Amino acid sequence: MKKKIYLFCSQGMSTSMLAKRMQDVADSHSMPVEVAAYSHGLLNQIIEEKKPDVILLGPQVKYLYEDTVANFGFYGAPILMISPEDYGIMDGEKVLKQAIIALKKKKAQA
């Protein structure tokens, strides 16, 4: 079963480029993940409907972090901020690694 790693930012434009790079890295390593990007306006709807395994927030929406944790932390999905540096250079590999590490930590705690 594919793990769902979803990114959220203000419009979803540049984040979709990062999501594509992450998906390309995952595909090149035959990793069973689905990476997608959405506008933060769809955050509640996407989380409730699609139940992502990892939630990543872009630097532009860091103000949403605490509310997202408060509202969706009970789902058990790791909620992470994408660093401005990794986001700025579109380092899909590094951001994907962070998401995978968060998934492994969650699994170890279960």
Looking at the DSSP bridge assignments, the partners of residue 33 are 3
Among residues 5, 9, 47, 55, the one annotated as catalytic is 9
Complete edge-to-edge strand list for the sheet that includes strand 54-57: 33-39, 3-9, 54-57, 79-81
User: Is 50 a residue of the active site?
Assistant: no
**Total residue length of the chain:** 110
Which residue type occupies 18?
Answer: L
Determine the 3-state secondary structure of 74 from DSSP: helix
Which of 60, 54, 51, 107 is CA-nearest to residue 87? 60
Contact 7, 53 (CB under 8 A): no
Active site residue ranges: 9
